[in-house]
A and B are shown apart, each in its own frame.
Chain A
Amino acid sequence: MLFSRERRSSEVEAAALPHLSDIYRTATRLLSDSTRAEDVMQEVYLQAWKSFDRFETGTNCRAWLFKILFNTLHHYRRKWFNIRMVKESEEVIEQTAAYAPPVPERITDEEVLAALAEVPDDFRSVVLLVDVEEFSYKESAGILNIPIGTVMSRLSRGRKLLRERLSGVARSYGIGNVTQEGQSA
């Protein structure tokens, strides 16, 4: 046990630091605040250091860190924002919006990120995990501690909401004013 803590620090550095950028950008997108994201990152790595005994070498360290990130974010959201979680009843609204509006062909990173920021947290989380970080549904379910079916439904609705927000950008360009085939503008 002589070197256990020191070895742990080295192992945390070696196993967890390479994923820093992935976790940081996800934290930033979910908090919409890079300063707070930095605070959260320190907490994530502190928690990783503390609980590294429970991490099984050879398993997916990246997914384990994302799970810590979402647990930490949950705590911080309650502390900072007292954020109200999206209820299933509110999701029903999205189910009715089956039409996918046109998305502009040319769009900047800033516009994409602004549209993403308007997607509610629960949906945004899943979109980030699956479409950006390329986690499987099963991994995402483990990270968020929700059933796989919920991951799939939130992903579908999250993507749709993002397209709708982006279509707002299209409308601001005048693109959405054109009546599409089969669509009442």
Chain B
Amino acid sequence: MNVISHGDSACEKIRGYLDSYISNELLVETNHEVLRHLEGCPTCAAEVEARSRVRTRLKAAVESQQVPAGLPIKIRQMIHRRQSRFLPTAAWSLWAMAAAAAVVLAAGIWVTRARTGMPESLDVADRAGQDVFIQKVSQTVSRVLRVGLGDHIHCAVFRRYPKNPPAVAQLAESIGPAFQGLVPVVQASVPDRYRIIMAHQCGYSGRRFVHVALSDGSNLMSLVIARKEPGESLEGLSPSTRASGVPVYQGQAERYEIAGFETAQYLAFVISDLNAGNNLLMASNLAFPVHDFLAKL
């Protein structure tokens, strides 16, 4: 243990102030007293320098430590997993939800179709009529965002859905082996009230798509994924959010909201008749897990 043997009581008093002096916390008078002492006392002046040096070196040493590269991703995944654990588990609530969903979905699909802006007289089997409608709707949106919009309208809006959507396992099977893991990822990343009502691979305007459609009974939403064509990218647009760590870009075409994100190989779009904020939120929630899934393909 160190023993005080400094004979100068003035030095001892001043040394009691030095940490506060370095932190600039002293009252003006005390500060002047310290300054006056330091001018005439090289030992205490050296002590100030040494203490300042320790603080600087400590901060630099602690801050030199890097966060492990995988930790932010682990934490994001943990948050998303936690979110998915809030899906109802009690049997009674599942039955209640299923019953309610069946009723609401039947009514909702009718509402959805009525709200799409599709002319009532247009036959869903009339491909030429669909194309005219899609062209008209798409004209205000950037070319790269049209990729997903066209398939959403063609494949999800112009469609009659069965009263009871297939089970998740069946939907996973219908989307094909490479993408079957996507179905539970999507289901876990959307609000509990949303059910996947369709999952498949489809084609529109000469391109192939992986398409997952969801509904909460009143709103229809698609996740549309397409392999990139040469030079195709969302990077020319300004991202609307990076909340998930994946930049998400946004556009609007009449009543459809579009949000897109990308991997090196794929473009992914979330298109719905939700308002802009909620569609972006949906896309933001889907962006990280879907990006993660696609990046591993």
Among A21, A98, A164, point to the contact of B67 (Cβ < 8 A).
A21
Q: A10-B243, A105-B53 are in contact. Are A20 and B71 (CB under 8 A)?
A: yes
Interface residues on A, range: 35 or more
Question: In the complex the two chains form, what is the Cα distance from A39 to B163 in whole Å?
Answer: 46
Are A107 and B57 touching (Cβ within 8 A)?
yes
Does more than half of chain A's interface fall in helix, strand or loop, or is it mixed?
helix
Does B3 sit at the interface, judged by CB under 8 A? yes
**What chain B residues lie within 8 Å of A162 (beta carbons)?**
54, 58
Residue A29 is within 8 A (CB to CB) of chain B in the complex: yes
> Taking each of A3, A20, A46, A97, which has the highest tally of chain B beta carbons within 10 Å of its own beta carbon?
A3
- A41–B53 contact, CB under 8 A? no
Collect the chain A residues with CB atoms within 8 Å of residue B74's CB: 38, 42
Are A29 and B62 in contact, CB atoms less than 8 angstroms apart? yes
User: Please, how many angstroms separate the alpha-carbon atoms of A78 and B60 in the complex?
Assistant: 30
Contacts of A10 in B (CB 8 A): 243-244, 281, 284-285
* A62 proximal to B (CB < 8 A): no
Is residue A14 within 8 Å, beta carbon to beta carbon, of the partner chain?
yes
Contact A5 B50, beta carbon cutoff 8 Å: no
Cβ of A17 to closest chain B Cβ, rounded Å: 6
Q: Is B61's CB under 8 angstroms from A13's CB?
A: no
Q: How many angstroms from the CA of A48 to the CA of B64 in the assembled complex?
A: 26
Q: Choose from A6, A38, A109 the contact partner of B68 (Cβ within 8 Å).
A: A38
Looking at the assembled complex, report how far the CB atom of A65 sits from the nearest CB atom of chain B, in whole angstroms.
12
Separation of A19 and B230 alpha carbons in the complex (Å):
38
B191 pairs with A2, CB closer than 8 A: yes
Inter-chain contacts of B7 with A (CB < 8 A): 182
Closest A-chain residue to B282, C-beta based?
A6
- State how many angstroms separate the Cβ of B203 from the closest Cβ of chain A: 31
Q: Provide the residues of chain B in CB contact with A3, threshold 8 Å.
A: 191, 278, 281
- Establish whether residues B68 and A131, one from each chain, have CB atoms under 8 Å apart when the complex forms: no
**CB atoms of A132 and B64 under 8 A apart:** no
**6 tightest Cβ-Cβ pairs between the two chains A and B:** A109-B61, A112-B61, A182-B6, A99-B2, A10-B243, A14-B243
Residues of A within 8 A of B (CB): 2-3, 5-7, 9-14, 17, 20-21, 24-26, 28-29, 34, 38, 41-42, 45-46, 49, 93, 96-103, 105, 107, 109-110, 112-113, 116, 127-128, 131-132, 155-156, 159, 162-164, 166, 180-184
Question: What are 10 A-B contacts defined by CB distance under 8 Å?
Answer: A6-B282, A17-B72, A41-B71, A46-B78, A99-B6, A109-B60, A110-B61, A116-B61, A131-B55, A162-B58
Spell out B's residues near A (CB within 8 Å). Answer: 1-8, 11-12, 15-16, 19, 43, 47, 50-51, 53-55, 57-68, 71-72, 74-76, 78-80, 82-83, 86, 190-191, 193, 216, 243-245, 278, 281-282, 284-285
Extra A-B contacts (19), CB below 8 Å, given A13-B243, A110-B61: A9-B82, A11-B243, A17-B75, A17-B76, A20-B75, A24-B71, A28-B65, A38-B71, A46-B79, A97-B1, A99-B5, A100-B15, A103-B54, A107-B57, A109-B64, A113-B62, A131-B58, A155-B19, A181-B43
